[in-house]
Amino acid sequence: MSNSSFITEFLLLPFADMRELQLLHFALFLGIYLAALLGNGLILTAVAYDHSLHTPMYFFLLNLALLDMGCISTTVPKAMANSLHDTRAISYAGCAAQVFLFPFLMSAEYFILTIMAYDRYAAICKPLHYGSLLGSRACAQMAAGAWGSGVLYALLHTANTFSLPLCRGNAVDQFFCEIPQILKMSCSRSYLRSFWVLVVGVWLASVCFVFILFSYVQIFRAVLRMPSEQGRHKAFSTCLPHLFVVSLFISTGFFAYLKPPSISSPSLNLVVAVLYSVMPPTLNPLIYSMRNRELKWAIRKVISWIVISLFHPTSAED
């Protein structure tokens, strides 16, 4: 197989060869997937229907929940289907869709996390100007910029990846079509053409990281100067979940794409891919709701409304 034009499907890396382990993987991923959809769905519903949460911080959290649902839906359902049906195949179009959607959603999520750091900076360090800095129009423009930048970055990666001739078979050493694994299948000389795309990605990630770091240095300086212990506690309760999510996102993502080749192996790559592509969308709703009383209260109201609607539909209508 000398050229990618002759490839009609790719073969993904299975989690296990034994049928029992494949079914166990299916059941495990099904539970994780449903938990991610439920958690992010509750956040979406709570933010959408609770008017007290119609603020910039929760608007960006709503965007983050949407992106998390998209991320995990891009990779996990196909992996579950392959385990259930004991197959490794994914079509060329399906692989191309994953190559586009996953970088799009992940990069857009990183941009949203960067904007959320700015939101916390403006709320804590510039409280008198918060309304003018983050009005509804400005929030919509920033969110649109994050989604649009994600699309452009994903198009750049997708066009570059599938413009390279693939000379090393069609077996992908990952449970989804991950770009570094696709590039390993390209011809050795062609592989160098992707270097400039990597440089763009590292530059964008570094700029966002420096911006987040600078924002939190200013935030912590402002919080530590607060005379009220209650004020410090409230500020930390909104900042620490975001900081934890950013740390999880950056550490797993950077390790996945920038780890030394000397420690790379199919099993390690598989574990790292699960950590950065599956676990954050599942854990993010828990992290954000754990210390946030307003969000927890709104989610409880949503759950109560759902329960009443299911078991007492007449009461819900009243």
- Burial track 227-259 (b if 16+ CB lie within 10 A, e otherwise): eeeeeeeebeebbebbbbbbebbbebbeebbee
pLDDT at 253: 75
pLDDT at 1: 41
Closest among 198, 200, 202, 221 to 210, alpha carbons compared? 202
Domain extents in the chain: 4-317
pLDDT at 32: 95
Per-residue pLDDT of the chain (318 residues; tens, 9 = 90+): 444 557 888 999 888 888 889 999 999 999 999 999 999 999 999 999 999 899 999 999 999 999 999 999 999 999 999 999 989 999 999 999 999 999 999 999 999 999 999 999 999 999 889 988 999 999 999 999 999 999 999 999 898 888 888 887 888 988 999 888 888 888 766 556 667 777 888 888 889 999 999 999 999 998 888 887 877 887 777 788 888 888 888 887 777 776 666 667 777 888 888 888 898 899 998 888 877 888 889 888 888 888 877 776 665 555
CA distance 244 to 108: 18
- Dig out the tokens for 46 from the structure: 């709570």
- Dig out the tokens for 48 from the structure: 């959408």
Q: Cβ distance 189 to 183 under 8 Å?
A: no
Q: Cβ distance 84 to 26 under 8 Å?
A: yes
Q: Cβ distance 278 to 79 under 8 Å?
A: no
Q: Domain 4-317 adopts which CATH fold? A: Rhopdopsin 7-helix transmembrane proteins (1.20.1070)
CA distance 75 to 183: 18
CA distance 126 to 298: 27
Residues in the chain: 318
pTM for the whole structure: 0.89
Which helix (H) or strand (E) element contains residue 84? helix 56-85
